[in-house]
A and B are shown apart, each in its own frame.
Chain A
Amino acid sequence: MARIIRKTRINDKFRSFIVGVALAVPILYLYAYAFLAQTNKSIFLIGTILAILVFFVGALSLDLEVGSVGLPNFGKVGFFALGAYISTLLYSVYRWPFYYIPGIGPIAQFIFSCLVAIIFSALVGYLVSVPTVKLRADYFAIMTIAGGEIIRLLLQYERRWFWAPAPVGPPTQVISNRVKVEFTGLYPFNQTLADFFGFTFFEDHNLGSIFIWQVVLIVIFVLISILVYWFVEQIRKSPYGRTLRAIREDDITVTSVGKDVSRFRWQVTTLAACIAGLAGIMYAMTFSAFEAGDFRPFLTFDLYIFIIIGGLGNSRGAFAGTALVQMFLRAAQVQEVKENIFLYLGKESPLIGPLFDFLQLDVYINPDNMRLVILGIILILFLLFMPSGLIPEPKTDNEKYLQYLTPEERLSSDKAVATRQSLTERERIDEEDVTELNSNI
C-alpha cells in the first residue's frame, strides 16, 4: 500500500516537471527571441524583472486569501489602485507635509506616502471585510468584485481629489509617479555601472548600459518580495495558518471547537489588502504613469491565472506562475515577435485556402493577438487536469509536530503506530469480540 502511494507521488512530481518544461520551453524561446531583437536589451530585461516582482507580491496577497483561507477575492485590483494612487498623489501631486523640508524632505515624504497608502489600503480592506466575511464564497466573490469596481470608479470620476492638476488647462486623468524621475537624477544613481565601477560587461556584449538606480530598484524590490514571502510563509507554518487551512476546508467544524471564524477571515482580508497596497506602490513606481482605467477587473483575473498555474496555497508556485506568464506577455508585445512569429490563414494557405477565400478572411495569428486565447486555454487545461498547479501545495506532514517530542517519546509513538498498522482490520476493531462476532454470523 505504502509503495503504491509513494509511486503515485513520484509520478505526480514527474508530471509537474514535464508540464513545467512543456510550458517553460516555448515561453523561454519566445522571450529569448524578443530579447535578442531588442536594441536596448538591458531595459527590456529590467522591465520584465520589475514587472514579475510587482505581480509576485500581488499574487502572494491574493494567494493568502484564496489559497489559505478559501476567500475568492475578486476585488484585489481595487487595493492595487489604492496603493498606487495614494502613494503617487501624496508624493508627486500634493507633496504634503514633508516634501519641502530641506535635506531629508523628499525621502521623508516618500516613506510617509508609502505608509499612508498601506495603512489606508488596510483600512479599506477591513471595511470591505466587515459585511462580507460571513457570506458564502460565491457571494463573497460578487461583493468583492463590486468593491473593487467602486474604488476604481471613484478614482476615475472624482476629479477634485484623484486627478492630477495640470500646469495649464483642466486636470488630467493620467497620474505620473515622480519618485523614479526625481531619485534617478541624483548622484550616484544617474551613473552607469560602467562609469561608476568600471563594470563593462553589458556594454561589451552590446546589451545596452545599466544605471545604478536600476540595480538599486531591483534590489529593493527583491528585498520587499523576500520579506513578504517570508511573512506569508511564517503565517502558513504557524498554528494560525493551520487554523486558516481548517477554515478553508470546513468552517462549521472550526466554529464548533470554539474559534471565531470571522475574526480569522477579517484579519486575513485586512492583511492581504495591506500587501496588495504595497504591490500597488511598486506598480506605480515601475510603470510611472497610470490611470484609473488600468485597474479594471482584468488585472485581478491575471493574478488568478498566475496563482492557478503556479499552484494555489503555495508561495513558490505563485512566483513560478507569475514569472512564466509575465515573460510570455512581455515577449508577445514585442514588435519583432509580432512580425516574425505568426500563422497566416487565408486564401494562399494550403488546404484551407479555398474555404478562407470563400469566407473572405485573411487572418494573421501571432502571440500578441492570441495571448488571451492562449492564456485561457492554458488556464482551462490546468483547471481540468492539474488543479493543484505546477508546484502543488506541500502535503501536510506530521514531522513538524513530532519534532517537538523527545527521542524516546517519538520512538514509542512510531512504534505504536507501526504495531497497530500491522494488525488486520478485524483484529483492530475488537480483539476480544471476534468470537462473538463469528457466532453472530
Chain B
Amino acid sequence: MEKQPDNISLKAHKIHKYFGGVKALEGSSVVVTKNKLISLIGPNGSGKTTLFNVISCWLSKSHPDDFIEEPEDEPKLQTRILKTLKKKFGGNEETDERTEVGYVDFEDLRLDGLDAHEAALTGMMRTFQTTRNWPKLTVLENLLVAPQNQTGESFTNIFFKRKQINEEERKNTLKALEILEFLEITHIRDQIGEELSGGQLKLLALGRLLMTAPRLILLDEPMAGVNPTLGNKIMDKILELKVDSTIFLIEHNMDVVFNYSDEIFVMASGKIIAQGTPNEIETNKDVIKAYLGVDY
C-alpha cells in the first residue's frame, strides 16, 4: 500500500457491493480531503447509505466478479454451477483476469475486513439515517456510554481499579456537560432517551459521536425529519466541527448541500457520476439527467 498524501482523510477505491441480483454499488470511488465538508448526494436508492455501510465496515464489499448474471436463454442453475466450476478449476489465466478488488483507506489504515466496532475505534464515526438511542438511559448517560476503551468497561477493573474509574467518570461527565452546552441541549440533561423529540435525538446522536473525538464523521441525513430552523442549527454545529474533524455528509436538502459543501459527489444507481465544487455540480448535465430525467 502506497503512502497516502497527508491531506487525504478517507479514500474508498472502486467499491462494489451486490445484494443477490441487485448491484447496489458498482465501482464507486470517493476521496475525502481533511478538514473539509464533503457531501454525497443522489436520488433515493442510488447506494449512498450502502457506500457508508461499506466504508464503516457494517457491510463487507463484494468482489467485482462475483455478480451472478442470469442470461435468459440459459437455465439458471446450470449457469451458476458452470460459473462456480470455472472459478474453481479454471486455471491461472482465469484468476489473473479477475478484476482488481477495491479498498477503503482511512488515513494510513486499510479498513478491509475489520469488524464494525473495530472500524469505529480507528477514529471514524458514523450516525444512522434513523436516529438511534438508548431509550431507558438519561441523556447524560447516553453520552457517557460512548467514550471508547473506558477502564470501567473491563470486568476485572470494576473491582480492582475503582479510583481510576472514578477519575475517568468525572472527566467524561465534564466532557459530556461541555458537549451538551455546545449543542445547546443542556435542558434535557436529566431526561431519558424515550422522552426526546426527533430533533433532540439528532443532536444527541451528534453529541454521542463527539464524545469519542472522531477525526472523520460520517453523517447519514442529519437533517431528515427536522424542522428547517432546527435543521439550520444542526448545520451550524456541524460546520463548527470542521475545525477538528473531516465531515462526510449524506443529505437531501440541496440548499444546505450547495451552500456549505466544499466538494460534492453525486451518485446514481451505484456509480459516482460527478464530483466537484458546488458550482461545477450545479451545471453538470449528468447530474440534472440523474435527478430529473433525460428530456428535461
State the CA gap A151–B136 with chains docked (Å): 36
Partner of B141, one of A240, A396, A421: A396
| Most chain B beta carbons < 10 A, residue from A235, A256, A260, A261 | A256
18 A-B pairs within 8 Å (CB atoms) are namely A235-B155, A240-B154, A240-B155, A240-B158, A242-B137, A242-B144, A242-B145, A258-B125, A258-B212, A260-B117, A398-B140, A401-B141, A402-B173, A404-B173, A405-B170, A413-B186, A433-B229, A433-B232
A253 contacts B by Cβ under 8 Å: yes
Task: Flag if B153 contacts A239 (CB, 8 Å).
Answer: yes
Residues of B within 8 A of A260 (CB): 115, 117
A428 contacts B by Cβ under 8 Å: yes
Which B residues contact A (CB, under 8 angstroms)?
56, 115-118, 120-121, 125-126, 128, 132-138, 140-141, 144-146, 148, 150-155, 158-159, 165-166, 169-170, 173-174, 177, 181, 184, 186-187, 189-190, 192-193, 208-209, 211-212, 227, 229-230, 232-233
A235 nearest CB neighbor, chain B only: B158
Residues of B within 8 A of A259 (CB): 117, 148, 153
Residues of A within 8 A of B128 (CB): 252-253, 256
Partner of B153, one of A243, A245, A421, A423: A243
Check A249/B233 contact, CB under 8 A, given A258-B148, A259-B117. Answer: no
State the CA gap A254–B50 with chains docked (Å): 20
Check A420/B136 contact, CB under 8 A, given A257-B212, A258-B120, A405-B170. Answer: no
Partner of B116, one of A255, A404, A405, A429: A255
Residues of A within 8 A of B165 (CB): 238-239
Task: Flag if B153 contacts A252 (CB, 8 Å).
Answer: no
State the CA gap A271–B159 with chains docked (Å): 15
Find residues 270-288 in chain A having any chain B CB closer than 8 Å to their own CB: 271
Q: How far is the CB of A314 from chain B (nearest CB, A)?
A: 13
Q: How far is the CB of A138 from chain B (nearest CB, A)?
A: 20
Partner of A405, one of B144, B173, B190: B173
Q: How far is the CB of A236 from chain B (nearest CB, A)?
A: 10
Interface of B is mostly: helix
Task: Flag if A404 contacts B166 (CB, 8 Å).
Answer: yes
A436 nearest CB neighbor, chain B only: B229
Check A257/B232 contact, CB under 8 A, given A235-B158, A240-B158, A401-B140. Answer: no
Residues of A within 8 A of B134 (CB): 245-246, 249-250, 253
State the CA gap A434–B101 with chains docked (Å): 52
B167 nearest CB neighbor, chain A only: A404
State the CA gap A260–B153 with chains docked (Å): 11
Residues of B within 8 A of A246 (CB): 134, 137, 145
Task: Flag if A398 contacts B137 (CB, 8 Å).
Answer: no
State the CA gap A409–B158 with chains docked (Å): 26
Residues of B within 8 A of A235 (CB): 155, 158
Task: Flag if B173 contacts A258 (CB, 8 Å).
Answer: no
State the CA gap A132–B187 with chains docked (Å): 41
State the CA gap A245–B155 with chains docked (Å): 15
Task: Flag if A257 contacts B148 (CB, 8 Å).
Answer: yes
A430 contacts B by Cβ under 8 Å: yes
Partner of A396, one of B132, B136, B152: B136
A412 nearest CB neighbor, chain B only: B177
Task: Flag if B126 contacts A256 (CB, 8 Å).
Answer: yes
A40 contacts B by Cβ under 8 Å: no
Task: Flag if A416 contacts B153 (CB, 8 Å).
Answer: no
Task: Flag if A417 contacts B189 (CB, 8 Å).
Answer: yes
Residues of A within 8 A of B159 (CB): 234
State the CA gap A21–B184 with chains docked (Å): 46
Task: Flag if B137 contacts A430 (CB, 8 Å).
Answer: no
Q: Which 7 pairs, one residue from A and one from B, show the smallest C-beta to C-beta distance?
A: A239-B152, A258-B120, A420-B187, A404-B170, A249-B134, A258-B121, A238-B158
Task: Flag if A252 contacts B132 (CB, 8 Å).
Answer: yes
A437 contacts B by Cβ under 8 Å: yes
Residues of A within 8 A of B126 (CB): 256
Residues of A within 8 A of B169 (CB): 239, 401, 404
